[in-house]
């Protein structure tokens, strides 16, 4: 059975990972340590798309911290500002999967 349209839209392709890794210099955008481009700004659980404008390079510790701790609001504000600087037309509304689109 194939993957659903939603699952595909939320997944991060190799091309997106490569472009985000280059954009972020291969470093965690929070702490500066080496990282991987596999963190969703808007999480998959909230239908966050696997597009460059929604993906961040984070080290494992910061990724865990962002996903699982009370630091999400503070980190999220920083990431929102970072992504909006990288993409002048950045808009959170465009980062969520909508059925039928």
Which of residues 12 and 5 earns the better pLDDT score?
A: 12
**Average pLDDT rounded to a whole number, residues 13-38:** 98
> Residue 101 — pLDDT band, cuts 50, 70, 90?
low
**Average pLDDT rounded to a whole number, residues 2-19:** 90
Q: What is the pLDDT of residue 1?
A: 47
The reply to whether CATH 1.10.30 applies to domain 5-90 is yes
CA distance 28 to 17: 13
CA distance 101 to 87: 22
Q: What is the pTM of this model?
A: 0.91
């Amino acid at each position: 059975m194939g993957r659903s349209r939603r699952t595909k839209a939320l997944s991060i392709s190799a091309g997106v990972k490569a472009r985000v890794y280059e954009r972020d210099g291969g470093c965690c955008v929070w702490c500066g340590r080496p990282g991987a481009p596999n963190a969703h700004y808007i999480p998959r659980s909230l239908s966050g798309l696997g597009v460059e404008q929604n993906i961040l390079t984070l080290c494992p510790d910061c990724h865990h911290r962002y996903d699982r701790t009370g630091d999400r609001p503070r980190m999220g504000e920083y990431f929102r500002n970072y992504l909006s600087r990288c993409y002048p037309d950045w808009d959170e509304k465009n980062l969520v999967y909508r059925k039928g689109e």
